[in-house]
Amino acid sequence: MMNKNQLGLAVAAVLFSSTAFAAGNDWSGIVSASVGNDDNVTLGDDSNVQASNEGDNFLDILATAGSYLKGNRDDGIRVNGTFYNRAYDTQDDFNFTLAAVGASYHKKMGDWHGRFGAKYSYLEFGGDPYESVYDLTAEARHKLSKTTELRIRYRYSDINAESSQFNNLEGDRHQVSVEGRFKAGKNRYRLSYRYETNDRNDSETTTTYTSSSPVRHTIRANAKIPLSGKWGSEVDLRWRDSRYKDDNVTTTSSVRREDDRFKAKLGLNYEYNRNVELYADYSYTNNDSNIDINEYERNTISMGVNYLF
């Protein structure tokens, strides 16, 4: 009998192999491939920051697809699947893989559009099991005007460690976000705020304690601005404040971890045709922390191709 991880991966494989790319169906999605360089290969997800202080080249592969099994965006059920893999040239201990499958119910409710979904994700880090995550989401969208839209979203995550090495990350997460989307001619803008709480296992011995349960505030600003001809650009800025619930205790000190992370991305894209897009990105990350081992800076450049269907 398959365990829950094998079942989730099997369902994702079926979604992609049997229907997502079959001719004559109503699936839509994207397949993307890119190459790039990371000057400080880092696992910065959740609370388990690991920075190698080494640079390396990488290959990214992404495939995601979705389709309505019944109805449409005003009253329907949609399924989707995602696969993502980052493989480094030499720093393969930092290779990252994600496979996810989910379903959502879409319903128009007066002037609002609602979406209620469930998703299962399986993650590997360095080729080894990392986490499995069960998500429940609820989202409401409302057109304030022809050029302005409001989105409110809640997500609950049940996070399970797939290796004893990451037992401190096991627990749950709650996220509430509010986003405004704006149009000005062909320009597209987003401004959002997200509040997040975590209740994780943390790490405790007879003499030490390390909190893995932050309260976070994230502000994001995004702009997509067409340039001349088929060229376009994107600017994405994010600031995240993390304050952990309990002090980290060692035999010599006691301090509550506080992190401030800033991320910036600049992107350039070229629409080769209605299905193919070429792009290049540069991103910068700076994680400032009152605990030295959690501080890092990171520069990443990449170029690739998207196929939209």
Question: For the chain, first and last CA: distance in Å?
Answer: 35
pLDDT digits (tens, 9 = 90+) for 254-263: 999 999 999 9
Residue bearing the bigger pLDDT, 49 or 186: 186
Distance CA(88)–CA(75), nearest Å, equals 43
Question: Total domain count for the chain?
Answer: 1
- Quote the pTM value: 0.88
pLDDT digits (tens, 9 = 90+) for 195-234: 999 999 988 888 889 899 999 999 999 999 999 999 999 9
Whether the pLDDT of residue 253 is over 50: the answer is yes
Domain CATH code at residue 41: 2.40.160.40
Check residue 204 and give its pLDDT. 83
Provide the domain limits for residue 70.
4-308
Q: What is the mean pLDDT of residues 234-244?
A: 97
Check residue 74 and give its pLDDT. 95
Whether the pLDDT of residue 3 is over 50: the answer is no
Average pLDDT, the chain: 91
Q: What is the mean pLDDT of residues 21-26?
A: 51
